[in-house]
Structure 1
Amino acid sequence: MGIFKLSLVFIFLSFLKLHSQHLDDYKLWLKYNNIEDKNLATDYSNITNSIYLPTTSEIYTNTKKELSTAIPQMLGRESTFTDALRPENSLIIDLYDNLPKDLQLKVEREFKNVSNEGFLIKSVKYNNAPITIISAKKEIGILYAVFRFLHLMQTHENLKEIDLIDSPKLQLRMLNHWDNLDRTVERGYAGFSLWNWQKLPGYIDERYIDYARANASIGINAISLTNVNANALVLTPMYLEKVEALANIFRGYGVKVYLTARFSAPIEIGKLKTADPLDVAVQKWWQNKAKEIYTFIPDFGGFLVKANSEGQPGPQNYGRNHVDGANMMAKALEPFGGNVIWRAFVYSEHDDTDRAKQAYDEFLPYDGKFMDNVLVQVKNGPIDFQPREPFHPMFGAMKKTPLVMEFQITQEYLGFSTHLVFLPKLFEEVLDSDTYQKGKGSTVAKIVDGSLYGNKLSGMAGVANIGTDINWTGHPFAQANWYGFGRLAWDPYLSSEMIADEWLRATYNNDQEFIEPVKKMMLMSREAVVNYMNPLGLHHLFDTGHHYGPGPWVNNLGRPDWNPVYYHKADTMGIGFDRTPTGSNATEQYAPYLANLYNDPKRIPEEYLLWFHHLPWDYKLKSGESLWDGIALKYQKGVNQVSEMITTWNNAKPYLTEGQYKEVEMLLQIQLKEAKWWRDACLLYFQTFSQRPLPAGVEKPANSLEYFESLKFPFAPGIRPQWD
């Protein structure tokens, strides 16, 4: 064979290897790797040898498909499926009401604690033989149970004596896609939108099915397909037939479709002259539109609405309020069982109040005035998905209105899909925060799940990080944030450590020598980003438009609260935003215990220090360091932590394929370079006010402040390239 032919063969084999790695990334946490432990494989084979599963519905059919895919991959053999109960069945899967009476009696007591979406997986003796039962009250519970069962096999759990009962603690577990109809994704860093509107409804991409599988595997039961900065065209028949095609796929995996509704749609597509929610013609238009949508999609979930925020139209355009707008839409959906999810992310250019206070001030007077099918969706913090924020004061203060927690899975302010940041650590911090609204123990999680105030509806939404990249999320570890969101939406009391452990085992391998150090790296990663971006309560230091790199010097944008200088308020006297009674008094929006805590710089947790206080550069931190030295050392610590992450990943190489290792290693090197960029740019800028030297242990910047201020970022996703 000639040199040319050998070169072609080498190139082809290299391509196959690379393609295989990318396909592995595509499988997410549903890889179903072969189980090499022979004893474990034998145990699992005995359990799954003969499976009773009636395929009487689409959900049951999809359940059987998943088992038929997973078991041969993990065990190297197929299972026998039966539609009628037989003595040889080792695994029985069916609704509780359909089980034989003697089997019902074996699980009757446990089933009292199973909700309509919950399930039971239990080992019992039946006809003198060990069998495993997977059962639920509703078919969707069966699907969730089988995904959990397969996950337990993936993570090498002992299933011989399993006794597991689980039910979701939140009713609405939702992904918010910020996808535009032109297939761009606002604040999306993993390619274009999954939804190919041009080919729908005729062409159904296999990826839609795999997307639904992934969501069902972690209990996500709702998605809004389109950007909250809505386009009214999605409510027209030509788009509704395309949405219908997606809904038909997702239904078989228990996922309901929601649409973002543009408040001015009656004008833009309805030819009315107004969108006033108290106008009878407008009310009639929305009622007719709801009826039309339900003819396409009988189980349509409802509308997600962003109104009177960042230029979006809303009821205030007509002198009305949020209740007027939300209830008008809710009334249109009510006959069909639909919900309105009304976002509370509002801040006005006409209001010079501290931006952190505006949503609370605007919504609290309406507590208890919304219809029963309205949920108010609140971001986790009072500004905008910062690397760290205190929890939003609306949680706990609004007692009569169900509040949906809105987390951002896509990393708009945390390094996009370039930086490794395990977000469940952030989510856990917020959910575990104590509001003290009904005394100690009044956590945000108890408000979100409805248990603190007895709200009938509950929910959690995550701004999706999913796109057309073959690995779905841009960064392989960003898959863990999608996975972790789903797990916390199912149970907001889970620990981020447990979630990291689950994801690593399903995505990579079960070797403890790999799991423990990489898990520690994941759990530390969010704090590293806080340190090298926004330490000690600093926030919104991001450059214009892209929210990627540092820009603490930016002060020329059209509104004060779009400028980083608005938030850090650095001057020769000190740094930080005074939100105590001597400043904006945002602390008054929290329960008295927390207000007193936050008002006192000596008692406040230092991670929120500069969020609530403007303090002098020589202020003494709890460590004894000056504030200036403390800030500088935090920036350096963040850089050092990324270096530690690189070391951890290098040590993990023996447990990884070459492709798995190299993909993350390259991204970590970018993250280290950019952590140094953040450190150097911010410290050089703040040093112009502090006039103090960098403390020992902090590396000196390699470039000048003028250099960092001159940097452009035209290639950031979502930015239209331009040059001044």
Structure 2
Amino acid sequence: MKKRFYTLIILFTILGIVQAENGYDLWLRYKKIDNKILLQSYQNKNGNILFPAVSESMNAAKKELTLGLEGLLGLELKETSNVENNTLIVGTVESSNIISKLSFADEIIFLDKDGYIIRSATYQGKAITVIAAKTDIGVIYGVFHYLRLMQTHQSLDKIAIKEEPKLQYRVLNHWDNLNGTIERGYAGYSLWDWERLPMYKDPRLIDYARANASVGINGAILNNVNANAKSLRTEWLVKASGLATAFRPYGIRVYLTARFSAPKELGGLPTADPANPRVRQWWKDKVAEIYSLIPDFGGFILKANSEGQPGPQDYGRTHADGANMIGEALEPYGGVVFWRAFVYHNERHIDRVTNGYNEFKPLDGKFNKNVFVQPKNGPIDFQPREPFHPLFGQMPNTPLAIEFQITQENLGHSGHLVYLGALFEETLQSDTYANGKGSTISNVLQNYKKTHGISGIAGVSNIGTDINWTGHLFGQANWHAFGRLAWNPDLSSKKMSEEWVRMTFSNDVDVIKPIQKMMLMSREAVVNYEMPLGLNHIMNYDTHNGPEPWHDDPVWTAYDYHKITKDSIGVNRTKNGSDAVGQYHEPLCNKFNNLETCPETLLLWFHRLSWNYKLSSGKTLWNGIVDHYYEGVDQVRQMQVIWNSLEKRIDQERFEHIKALMKIQESEAVWWRDACLLFFQSYSGMPIPAEYEQPKYSLEYYKRIPFPYDWDNTLFFNKK
């Protein structure tokens, strides 16, 4: 038996078979470095460690450093009390007598509370490396950065790194329900085991906190924005306190979604009117109870007077009235309010794109200092491509927190490889021209810290109970990208994608380049096969997965989003239409308004055009739409070819996982392409060029299938 075992080991070594992985470790894979020169260099730098740790956070940082050094370098943490050459010293000015004596000690003291320094230095003639911070949480961030340098094979010689977050509140918004489900199943099932909290804390919660801290995320909103009032009941607050305890050592504060009508539903009051003294007192008492259980509670997010949710407008009050009532209750404890600007009217004569601006712009300057107004990145609803929300740059007297969606609600859910770093970057680097050229959304968000004392960003989480956390392994890259951009909104998607590939798969350039190529083309691919040239909101009404440009009922119709007729398609949002262009600063207003200057990527968002309109390519609008849909499918197929070429370079388990999902993505890209083009063709009457592969099924077939379970073997639909 023993001989057989060793034979297998030798055989695996000869064949070069890569050890299987399931993706659980995310980008925190501390696999031993196989570059001998680098390995020796790193080992020399970490031969002796001086790391006094007395707090929970310091112990967490020390545990992480131990885990990293053991995995990456094969070193046990060798602590010393004496400074020798190549000693790594970790701590704060308060925790380390040596750090307090360094020449840059004052620089450490004046860091942001989350900031840190990693620096090569000398102490008593000895060469040392220092990871130092103002606070224990800063030390955690510094340790993760230090390990990341080794994970990505960067030099540790002559390091001079100073990092401070550019945004203060960096929050994940979990759309988790109290029954364990997640909104529409975007991210599987909830990590929060409410039934066993607070007594039992799944060890996975610690790994969740580690992963967030490693990219700088410092907050978690625990429950769905479509809130259930009972999340504020005492028994549920006790459960939430268990999560707060698990996350606290890693600097992550918990937040809750509050239901505006909670004083009626839980408190038995006849009203939730923010002008009512009893209502205001109810919120103050509830907030006091929360802080007695969770001393570092972060605050609330509210979805109010949107999609049927209760709010202050039910009582003739404004969004500011409602937000300020809750902000005042939180203010003595340092809590904040994220008041969502996602509001619209289900009225056919009103362009939904304009609602958020029209409701919130007049309220600029009327919100409490601890209240964020939180618009989504675009004015519709997390579409594959939208122009940025016009409120950015238009509310100088109110701090805004941008809301991105990490989960892929309208981008194939967790079945499609869509790297959202490109979408995040596109939005953050969009110029609002609020104060002239260079007023990017990134700069606008960062400036709120100077002008209002707070700055923030939120991302709707894609994390669930899948063993790899995000369902699709590449969904991890979107979690990673959001966190890195929350810390520094000016990072590039290209840089972040390379970092993630190095930490998740390999530092081999022959692996990095092809995977990075897939990632960087994937967002444009989904735009092409779903909603090109500014088309939007034509997904399935119920599931938000798959096409349904034909949806039409008295409550909601896709026709308001494409305005299709036999002559034309697109929505007129110019000065002669709904004037959505007028909500942007110049020169954007005229740029979007003018057909000659409007980017073709947003053409049908702002303009209604005939099928024969000539694009910059010289092709008609119809042929341009057709080309984009086919290009999207071709791009997915290119991604498949690239991935399949990596079979011997990626461990089999993760390789097969992605390969299978890529097959699903191809079939669903074809589904989008054929269903949309057949629908558009039924109006345009124009042909799909013969050189393209023709749709396999009829439009009626696509209209009847809610989801393409198994197209080739289905017994449920007539394939006419």
With the length of structure 2 as denominator, give the TM-score of the two structures.
Answer: 0.94
Output the CA distance in 2 between the equivalents of 1:149 and 1:166.
Answer: 12
Please tell me whether the aligned partners of residues 459 and 482 of structure 2 are also in contact (alpha carbons under 8 angstroms): yes
1:677 paired to 2:671 = yes
Residue among 632, 657, 665 paired with 1:663: 657
1:569 deviates by 0.7
Offset from partner CA, 1:698-720 (integer Å, 9 cap, x none)? 3211111111111123989xxxx
How do 1:555-704 and structure 2 match up within 5 A?
Answer: 555-556=552-553, 558-559=554-555, 562-695=556-689, 697-704=691-698
> Hey, what does 2:157 align to over in structure 1?
160
Residue among 120, 123, 132 paired with 2:120: 123
How do 1:281-430 and structure 2 match up within 5 A?
Answer: 281-349=278-346, 352-430=349-427
1:48 deviates by 1.4
CA RMSD of aligned residues (A): 2.2
> Hey, what does 2:66 align to over in structure 1?
68
Output the CA distance in 2 between the equivalents of 1:264 and 1:187.
Answer: 23
- How many residues matched? 700
Residue among 442, 445, 448 paired with 2:445: 448
> Hey, what does 2:550 align to over in structure 1?
553
Give the counterpart letter for 2:27 in structure 1: W
Relative distance call for 1:57 and 1:100 in structure 2 (3 A) is: closer
1:672 deviates by 0.7
Please tell me whether the aligned partners of residues 549 and 676 of structure 2 are also in contact (alpha carbons under 8 angstroms): yes
> Hey, what does 2:4 align to over in structure 1?
none
Output the CA distance in 2 between the equivalents of 1:132 and 1:665.
Answer: 43
Please tell me whether the aligned partners of residues 356 and 586 of structure 1 are also in contact (alpha carbons under 8 angstroms): yes
> Hey, what does 2:24 align to over in structure 1?
26
Relative distance call for 1:453 and 1:118 in structure 2 (3 A) is: closer
1:695 deviates by 3.0
- Identify the range of structure 1 (589-598 vs 698-707) with the bigger mean alpha-carbon deviation: 698-707
> Hey, what does 2:93 align to over in structure 1?
96
Output the CA distance in 1 between the equivalents of 2:368 and 2:48.
Answer: 50
1:89 deviates by 6.7
Identity value in percent: 52
| SS of residue paired to 1:379 | coil
Offset from partner CA, 1:344-386 (integer Å, 9 cap, x none)? 1011235842000001000011100101010111100000000
1:696 deviates by 5.5
> Hey, what does 1:532 align to over in structure 2?
529
Output the CA distance in 1 between the equivalents of 2:120 and 2:449.
Answer: 35
Output the CA distance in 1 between the equivalents of 2:515 and 2:336.
Answer: 41
| SS of residue paired to 2:414 | coil
Offset from partner CA, 1:140-198 (integer Å, 9 cap, x none)? 11000000111111111111221111110000000000000000000443321001111
Relative distance call for 1:184 and 1:714 in structure 2 (3 A) is: farther
> Hey, what does 1:6 align to over in structure 2?
none
> Hey, what does 1:494 align to over in structure 2?
491
1:571 deviates by 0.6
1:650 deviates by 1.2
1:449 deviates by 1.6
Relative distance call for 1:271 and 1:589 in structure 2 (3 A) is: same
1:125 deviates by 2.5
Please tell me whether the aligned partners of residues 653 and 661 of structure 1 are also in contact (alpha carbons under 8 angstroms): yes
| SS of residue paired to 2:132 | strand
Output the CA distance in 1 between the equivalents of 2:399 and 2:576.
Answer: 33
Give the counterpart letter for 1:649 in structure 2: W
Offset from partner CA, 1:97-134 (integer Å, 9 cap, x none)? 55547864433586487322111101122233321000
Output the CA distance in 2 between the equivalents of 1:363 and 1:152.
Answer: 43
Output the CA distance in 2 between the equivalents of 1:366 and 1:338.
Answer: 21
> Hey, what does 2:79 align to over in structure 1?
81
Give the counterpart letter for 1:45 in structure 2: Q
1:601 deviates by 1.2
| SS of residue paired to 1:81 | coil
- Identify the range of structure 1 (283-292 vs 127-136) with the bigger mean alpha-carbon deviation: 127-136
Listed as ranges, the gaps of 5+ residues in structure 1 are 2-8, 717-721
Give the counterpart letter for 1:568 in structure 2: H
Give the counterpart letter for 1:704 in structure 2: S
Residue among 131, 136, 139 paired with 2:133: 136
Offset from partner CA, 1:314-352 (integer Å, 9 cap, x none)? 111111111110000011111111111101101123584
Output the CA distance in 1 between the equivalents of 2:107 and 2:230.
Answer: 48
Relative distance call for 1:590 and 1:182 in structure 2 (3 A) is: same
With the length of structure 1 as denominator, give the TM-score of the two structures.
Answer: 0.94
Please tell me whether the aligned partners of residues 532 and 678 of structure 1 are also in contact (alpha carbons under 8 angstroms): yes
Offset from partner CA, 1:210-254 (integer Å, 9 cap, x none)? 100000000000110000111111111111111111101111000
Please tell me whether the aligned partners of residues 434 and 442 of structure 1 are also in contact (alpha carbons under 8 angstroms): yes
Output the CA distance in 1 between the equivalents of 2:644 and 2:93.
Answer: 49
> Hey, what does 1:145 align to over in structure 2?
142
Please tell me whether the aligned partners of residues 188 and 410 of structure 1 are also in contact (alpha carbons under 8 angstroms): no
> Hey, what does 2:463 align to over in structure 1?
466
Please tell me whether the aligned partners of residues 402 and 450 of structure 1 are also in contact (alpha carbons under 8 angstroms): no
1:690 deviates by 1.1
Relative distance call for 1:350 and 1:579 in structure 2 (3 A) is: closer
Output the CA distance in 1 between the equivalents of 2:176 and 2:431.
Answer: 34
Please tell me whether the aligned partners of residues 674 and 695 of structure 2 are also in contact (alpha carbons under 8 angstroms): yes
Output the CA distance in 2 between the equivalents of 1:102 and 1:286.
Answer: 45
Residue among 218, 223, 229 paired with 2:226: 229
Please tell me whether the aligned partners of residues 57 and 136 of structure 2 are also in contact (alpha carbons under 8 angstroms): yes
1:686 deviates by 0.4
Give the counterpart letter for 2:239 in structure 1: K
| SS of residue paired to 1:394 | coil
> Hey, what does 2:713 align to over in structure 1?
none
Output the CA distance in 1 between the equivalents of 2:224 and 2:599.
Answer: 36
Offset from partner CA, 1:258-304 (integer Å, 9 cap, x none)? 00000011111111111111000000100000100000011111111
> Hey, what does 2:5 align to over in structure 1?
none
Please tell me whether the aligned partners of residues 302 and 338 of structure 1 are also in contact (alpha carbons under 8 angstroms): yes
How do 1:193-204 and structure 2 match up within 5 A?
Answer: 193-204=190-201
1:33 deviates by 0.9
Residue among 47, 50, 69 paired with 1:49: 47
> Hey, what does 2:213 align to over in structure 1?
216
Give the counterpart letter for 2:614 in structure 1: K
Offset from partner CA, 1:440-495 (integer Å, 9 cap, x none)? 11101111222598332111100000001111000000000000000000000000
Output the CA distance in 1 between the equivalents of 2:693 and 2:534.
Answer: 22
Residue among 541, 563, 570 paired with 1:544: 541
How do 1:175-214 and structure 2 match up within 5 A?
Answer: 175-214=172-211
Give the counterpart letter for 2:157 in structure 1: K
Offset from partner CA, 1:400-450 (integer Å, 9 cap, x none)? 111001000000000000000000100000000011111111101111222
Listed as ranges, the gaps of 5+ residues in structure 2 are 2-7, 711-715
> Hey, what does 1:4 align to over in structure 2?
none
Give the counterpart letter for 2:537 in structure 1: H
1:663 deviates by 0.7
| SS of residue paired to 1:160 | coil
Relative distance call for 1:453 and 1:300 in structure 2 (3 A) is: closer
Please tell me whether the aligned partners of residues 106 and 124 of structure 1 are also in contact (alpha carbons under 8 angstroms): no
Please tell me whether the aligned partners of residues 633 and 698 of structure 1 are also in contact (alpha carbons under 8 angstroms): no
Give the counterpart letter for 1:618 in structure 2: N
Output the CA distance in 1 between the equivalents of 2:342 and 2:82.
Answer: 53
Please tell me whether the aligned partners of residues 52 and 89 of structure 1 are also in contact (alpha carbons under 8 angstroms): no
